[in-house]
Amino acid sequence: MPLFDLKPSETDLDEWAAKYWTANSAKLEESAFIAGQQILRGDFSAENLAKIVYWKSPRVVHYILENPQEKIAEALQKAIAPTTSPREAVLALTELRGIGVPVASAILTAIFPDRYTVIDFRALEALGHEPGGVEFYEEYLTFCRDLAARLAQRGVIHSQENYPAPTVLRALDRALWQWSASKGILKSD
């Protein structure tokens, strides 16, 4: 497993997660998580998928819409099946045009915010790491789940009850993203 080096102080994570909302659009994120819940209820429309993708990476939405509706539905059904592993879910989604591992992780996060987290250059910068492929995402996901659980147990980070997807795992992702964004590095996924 790659070693991750948490750059922000653990005790500052709740503050970074709160700052996320002053710098980012809660409406955009809320729309993505509503679409995720609609997918979970069986609405596998391109429109729902596009709302999530727009939240993560607006510039690739047009690629998503080029996928046939049947292919979108098939990928989403496979990704959310109860027996699907994180690896299988990411691979199913990356078969769609316009979706790489970071966007697939955002889709899964919008559907299952208690089980998945977004991987992108910002969160990885906060952990002192470079991006990797599907296997790397599995290791990253395990690390983030474990870290979020440990920090929540110690009362260091809390779910954000007034915002979409009020899970500790989501609060951790917001904190990592905001810490990196505060450093002023301009790069896109």
pTM: 0.92
Q: Quote the domain boundaries for residue 155.
A: 10-24+117-182
Structure tokens at 183: 């450093």
Shared-domain flag, residues 85 and 159: no
* Domain presence at residue 171: yes
Q: Does residue 61 contact residue 50 with C-beta atoms inside 8 Å? A: yes
* Domain presence at residue 187: no
Q: Does residue 120 contact residue 189 with C-beta atoms inside 8 Å? A: yes
Note down pLDDT in tens along the chain; length 189 residues: 568 999 999 999 999 998 998 777 778 899 999 999 999 999 999 999 999 999 999 999 999 999 999 999 999 999 999 999 999 999 999 999 999 999 999 999 999 999 999 999 999 999 999 888 999 999 999 999 999 999 999 998 888 888 888 899 999 999 999 999 998 755 544
Residue 10's SS3 state is helix
Using the 3D structure, point to which of 96, 111, 126 is the last residue of a domain.
111
Shared-domain flag, residues 66 and 127: no
End-to-end CA gap in the chain: 23
Rounded-to-integer distance, Cα 115 and Cα 62, Å: 28
* Domain presence at residue 3: no
